[in-house]
Amino acid sequence: LAAVLPDRLQVINNYLETLKSNYSQAGLPGEVNRLIDQQLLRGQDLLINWLENILQNLPSILVSIGLLILSPILAIYFLLDWPQITKTIINLVPVRVRGEWLRLLQEIDYLIQRYIQGNILDALIVGLLIGLGVKICGMEYALLIGVICGVTNLIPYFGPVLGAIPSVLLALGKSPVMSLKVLLVIVIVQQLDSNFINPYLMSNKLGLHPLWVVFALLAGGEIGGILGMLIAIPLAAVLKIILSHIFYYLVFPRELKINKN
């Protein structure tokens, strides 16, 4: 990506120069030519500054992408060792409440597995569909765009935007029309994902209210950045399970005792 963006920047500059040459030969009034020149120069400066900022922040962006790639891998290893972790935790709990703790850990284990498996499969499907879509449109970096959009799709709600920005920039270097095609493919696939693919995969098994999801994402992003946003929803679901157990075994028994009296 670092090698491609400077080349794309030069292509964009050449395109703007060609555009200026074409309209200057169109016989437009001098004042109109000056206004167009000013707007093109302003847009060119903004675009150059934007791409330079991306290049300057590229190491941190790559680190974030690396964390996104490593997080599911670490989660898989964590799940593989989960029986031993569960056994260790249970041995630390008093015998009289071990049964309840075991049920709690089993629910958390099942929830985390469903969430991770569903999101990884969802990311693979989204990346594949976007990669195929932009390939059909004639984009040469279809594989790279598919990988970027698939990985960033692991971030709920904000991931599609993070994946679309570098993808559209890569396509913009080829032509503005190609950038619009790539953006259209991403929007269509993300709409399909939001309305059909993801709901089907997840099947609403986490049972979280939308406001709770938004709050979890905001809190996770504030505390842990992109990685915090990635784990915010499963942590919120785990918290819901814990709170439900606390409610059932602390509040409900008290109500039963009152009814008996």
pLDDT digit string (tens) for 27-83?
A: 666 676 777 777 777 776 777 777 677 667 766 666 666 766 676 677 677 767 777
Cβ contact 90:101 at 8 Å: yes
Neighbours of 80 (CB within 10 A): 9
Q: Which of 10-14, 66-70, 180-184, 257-261 has the lowest mean pLDDT?
A: 257-261
pLDDT digits (tens, 9 = 90+) for 150-204: 998 887 667 888 899 899 988 988 888 898 999 999 999 999 987 778 767 765 6
Kindly indicate the confidence band of residue 253, based on its pLDDT and cuts at 50, 70 and 90.
low
pLDDT of residue 194: 77
pLDDT of residue 195: 76
Q: Kindly state the percentage of the chain with pLDDT values over 90.
A: 15
pLDDT greater at residue 121 or residue 259: 121
pLDDT greater at residue 20 or residue 166: 166
DSSP string, 197-226: IHHHHHTT-S---HHHHHHHHHHHHHHHHH
Relative orientation angle of helices 98-136 and 159-174, to the nearest 10 degrees: 20
Neighbours of 8 (CB within 10 A): 18
Distances (CA, A) of 134 to 128, 159, 164, 167, 185: 10, 18, 12, 10, 7
pLDDT digits (tens, 9 = 90+) for 135-152: 999 998 899 999 999 998
Q: Which of 151, 190, 157, 185 is nearest to 171 (CA)?
A: 185
